[in-house]
Structure 1
Amino acid sequence: MSIGIVTEPDWGLGGIGVFGEEVCPRLLRREGTVRIEVDRNGVRSLPFPSVLTYGKRWLVGSKLRDRIAASDAAVVFLPDHRYLTFDPGSVPQTVVPYVHDILPVTTLFSDVPSTLFARLYTRRLSALDAAICASRFTASDLRLRTPFDGETPVVYQGVDQLPSNPEETFEYDLVYVGSTIDRKNPAFLSDCFAAAEEAGFSCAAVTDRDAELPGDRFSEVSAESLGALLAGARFYLHPSKQEGFGRPPVEAQQLGTPVVGLRTPINEEVLGEPSEAWLPIETPTDLVEVLRGDGVDYEALEARSAENAARFSWETTADEIFDVLRRYR
């Protein structure tokens, strides 16, 4: 019996899209795997759950369920846990999703249909025997926010060094990459940028088109430009309050750019030893002190940042996911 890998013809943008593009082709190169393709065209980029897309997601889930049931796979890997818009008990296979971050699909919503959909999703997730989690924090959060009581093996995401265009140069004291949704802590981000700019330091962000932040802002950049931007920064700001893993700060570490962020459990797990591989702060004033270089051994911090980021690679991610899936075949 084979292992089914759910894939998409076009993964789209965002962290989950990068994960699918990097992991699924590597899994499909392994002996005994089969492709199960799903098309979420018109649904992929929309909010989840959403009353506007409830019917579309249900239809996508029904089609995926039929394709899974018709395959000869014994176990099926869902690279995005939000594919679980079908009853896992309706297929003969063991379904194992990858849980990137459980918060967005378990948070209470303002409208009744979306709340009911979120509850239905968590019931379906809880019916599974196992879910691969992006971190120990995600595994803990999964059990906290849902009645899930299955196995939660942890497999970290990979982080490959971004390419850099040698003809591009950026010189910023502080850089941020990501959205400005609430859990990313946009108020703290804005306050930090404002404090840094007021103290005479330059800031840049790659974020939403409509985001209002001090300093320079880019809404779309190539991988090469992003690599050059991160490599040229003195520090990377990671203001987020909640992450399932958090790839951008590790990408910065991969290029030797030290990270400054809040002292949260996920940061301590993924970014390495606080004050050695990254610098914890509590206020914008703390950030300004870091930018001024007060008590910062930049060379040691740069080296330990790169050393921490070297723990993560896509090949290792695919190897460990495949090992987990074989246990359920």
Structure 2
Amino acid sequence: MNWSVSLTQFQGYLQLEKSLSGHSVEAYLRDVRKLVQFLETTQQNIGPLEVQAPHLQAFLEWINTLGMTSHSQARTISGIRSFYKFLIMEDLLNADPTETIEGPKLQRKLPDVLSYDEIVSLFEAIDVSTPEGTRNKAMLETLYSSGLRVTELIELKISNLYEDLGFLRIAGKGNKERLVPIGRDALKYIRLYLDNVRNHLVIKKGQEDFVFLNRRGASLSRVMVFTIIKDLAAKVGLEKNISPHTFRHSFATHLIEGGADLRAVQEMLGHESITTTEIYTHLDRDYLKQIMQEFHPRS
């Protein structure tokens, strides 16, 4: 088996069986292609089934000399591991050459989080007298109320709004669906937007079910949501580097600070592993430490 055939099969597996997005599939393929590039550069004429641990170790040393960050290296190794797990699953290999390979040690970076007062100041700075402001208020209330990813926000559909129950049906990563609660304020601003702004748009064909639309009646882009948030932060003089994901981080942190169960937060965020959600307990510990320092007489 050559690299071209194995990569085509791997691509089919990622698309059909794993149901990954086009961006995710391309990222996995790009990781494996880096290995192919290394083998060609070092004139090692071997196929995917002939790669051994020493080849991979040399590859790691090579990407390190290229100046790749430790996070980029870890991402590449993860992609190559997935490729070889696929080959073993297909009974094309008996032993996994990536088993003994260790990637760079990563320090887990805690995400930026907004305080509740900072979130309120951002919301209050939105001019809801304009159509765009009404939409933006509904969007940001939804981001913070339900902890959505930006892609989940822009792909939110009217048919997945359960206003009477206070829930959203969300298609998350890998098309895995989950039900997420949404607060009354967020639902109120969504309804105001739907009734007073969206109803007056000329909606493009195929976009009829998307909740949030631009002024031309088409679904929003990720970049547009980022821009809206950056402009709002500048307007209120917020110096933190924030993005749509900051609202998701703040949602989870504020829940855990308030005593929410970690499993419940994991379910709402759509995390496959609770270890991903556990990063917010570290933020909670920082908060507790701050409280101790501020209010304990002997701190």
Smaller-chain TM-score bracket:
0.3 to 0.5
- Structure with the larger helix share: 2
User: Taking structure 1 as the reference length, what is the TM-score of the superposition?
Assistant: 0.32
More strand by share: 1
Larger Rg: 2
